[in-house]
A and B are shown apart, each in its own frame.
Chain A
Amino acid sequence: MAIKLDRRTVLRGIGGTVLALPLLEAMTGRKTARSANPTIPKRYILCFGGQSLGADNDPIHNMYVPTTIGANYDLKVALAPLANHNNIKNEITVVSGLKIPTAYDNGGVIPAGGRADDFHINSLSPLLSGTSTSDGRIHGPTSDQLVADAIGSGTTFKSLVYRVQASWYLDQSAPYGRDVISYRMNGSTLTGIPSTVSPRAAFDSLFVGFTPVDPAEAARREFMLRQRKSVLDLVSAKTEKLLPKLGTSDRQRVQRHLDEVRDLERRISAIAPDGGGACQLLGDPGQDPAVGGNQTVNGGTGFDVNAGYSNEEARATMLVDLLHMAITCDLTRVGTLQFTMAQSHMNMYPLIGIPYDLHEIGHSSHGTMGVSQGIAWHMKHFARLVAKFRDTPEDIGTMLDNTVIVMVHEGGHGYDPSAAKTYSSHCTENMACLIAGRVGGLKPGRHVVAAGMHPANVLITAMNAVGVSTNTLGQVNGTIPALTS
């Protein structure tokens, strides 16, 4: 980035009043070759849904994978929302035929990039990091954080990790990692990155540097920002002095805390990055929707249709808006959006009228149809996210020309070796995912059958598309050439 624009000089935010694009182009000196402009950043977004594609005892594997192969694919129940936004499916490729292998598939030994036969939590590690697991834990850095390490250092936020589902919602149990899908290497230690769940906090954190039109308000904010910086300066200086007085373990603990304080300092001190024509202060989101109470029941009799829900509909909308704007303003180039936790116990009644939590629908009589309706709720917001990038002009094209957005799901459908069940939601056969965007030569808008490939192969392809040259993710090797040809 040769020329830095102070956002304060460009933006006149509230209400979306934005300066005209040509001025910005003049100021940034952007070239006009579509998709090949090296000054335009590349972006990587990973979305996750905590449910498999089909239900127990239902011979229908899914209502997700189109019958049509190639372009103009048909939309079944799970992907029906991809018809929204003027057929946003034209920007999205469906990848089917994917599979995470199990110990059962491999003579009882967990294969590379595979998982133990028990489904619960065990799909996450191979799915997101390409690394095998048998204890439910993720054992390698995840694709989003590898990309952040490679391309995220120059922006205010190395990556943004958001979660829509506000709480675990189940009594007598805890997420035990099902709420964390981003892991990065911290030296030699693998560290989970907890998600930002509060749209309010996300908003405050992103838009701290934006200056309102009203001069009095602008001055007040500027003064507040200086107070925050002075306070953080003092906190970190004091903490720095404390460190040598501590024993090894406490020193490491406080050092990690201090690292986060420094990161916050850096973020609020950052001069606004390059403005883009569409970079604007979003409307204030107000206070977060209240967090709903817990369930003791997964669904059906005794299920409390008023608990287990925190207006995730509104939260999803807000977080999609925030993530899109953060990337538009080049505050970050890597986003992770976890719609629902793995084995999600979010109450789906307010969203699709089925009185079950998301995971339990897969074990209920609502079958693959019910599961697909649950996925479709995710897709409604995913479609909106992709559409926002498609509809944001950039250079001579749109932001989607420089972005990849992947949507993966916790499982597939088929044989569950741990329960010897033929049709099970606890299965990682017949998996599928979505990949949107044109960055790095990706060719969206098709249904590609990648028979026998691993979901991590899709992620490796996406990583390469944003310039992270790698042939591996964890223990999985290779791209899927059909996605770029």
Chain B
Amino acid sequence: MNTLGTSENPLQVAVVGSGPSGFYAAEALIKSGRAVRVGMFERLASPFGLVRSGVAPDHPKLKQAILVYDKIARAPEFSFFGNINVGKDIMLGELHQNYHAVLFTCGAETDRRLGISGEDLRGSHTATELVGWYNGHPDYRDRVFDLSHEVAVIIGQGNVAADVCRILAKTADELKHTDISEHALDTLAESKVREIHAIGRRGPAQAKFTSRELREFGELGDCDPGVDALELTLNPESEAELADKNNVVSAKNVEIFRDFARRTPSKHRRCIFQFLRGPVRLEGTGRLERVVLERNRLQGAPFQQSARGTGEISTLECGILFRSIGYKGVAVSEAPFDERNGVMPNRAGRVLDSDGSVVPGLYCAGWIKRGPTGIIGTNRACSVETVGSLLADLDALATRDAKSGMAGVRALIEQRGLRAVNYDGWLKLDAAEVERGKLKGKPREKFTRLHEMLALLG
């Protein structure tokens, strides 16, 4: 048998998931200098993960990352299997039979829970649901959000919370030329929301917004940012954090909050940032009517401060609430999973069994590897690390017979009568979405239902 990774015996890798970490893993494999074949499996008919269905519609520039993924997808070593759910349509064991290695890049598909009473009241949602809904993700297409109450609350102060606040704060005119899905734009156009409260359990110096997205709240068409100046009084530990030369983002954020606090509101809507408060329960008869908040104080050394409840309670009447306190990974059947942290247990991307030993041929990258932190580009370094581990294992991955890769998987797909969408199929869907958008002055109008997509592909 020829050496693995040569043209006679190419390294066959299955990548499960088609978001940024999947594409960066494919890129690293293709650029490795070895002969490789990459098969990418995606449970939706469309690729690109959270760049398509997470990045907010009013941030089109970030979506240009797709141009890079498109280039990777057109490489001769690459094949795409859309609408194929690994663990359901094709089992992990079957991927192992056809590929030398399986690399999971399936992200973190669910939200962390607050773990408080009333969390499941009607009107209490996850940020993921709203984000998926306005971005046309088929799983969230039919969610219903009641925006008839004037007050909306977002629990959390990170990038996703900022997106949710901003989409609720913008007017239909500000959104109508983005790729926001039509059903969402129609609902948002009728929104009665006038007050948006973004609530963080720690202080303004610990808010996780990037300065760029925080500034956007000062530039909205019909919404003023609001901060109570009293809330910007910092404890000495937070002052020390801001004085650190390596903590420029937080220092800038506090400066921006100070600017917000000085403004006199004149617009129809307000987005109010509140700090050092945590929800203790949600209340209402049959549906959400108010959130009960506890005042927090910070405890600990600079950069290690955590929020502790003080027992001081307040209530905030509201009609809708979104929790945005972090994502969590979901287990893939047959693969080891760490329930507590919502990740696959791993060492530098090599998946580990419950006894800590390496599972041969199984790897992970992106959020399912390190948890839901970082932004698009963070995943590139993460995937490069995992591919480094995989290539270092090449001798161990070599098998007596060559692996059949794409051909083997195609046979399974045919046997089972599955409807896989290949990359050419996606390009057809992509062109059709762009065409649909043109009529409305939008960059695209996404298909939000699988049957529409499959019908178009004939």
Is this pair of chains taken from one and the same complex? no
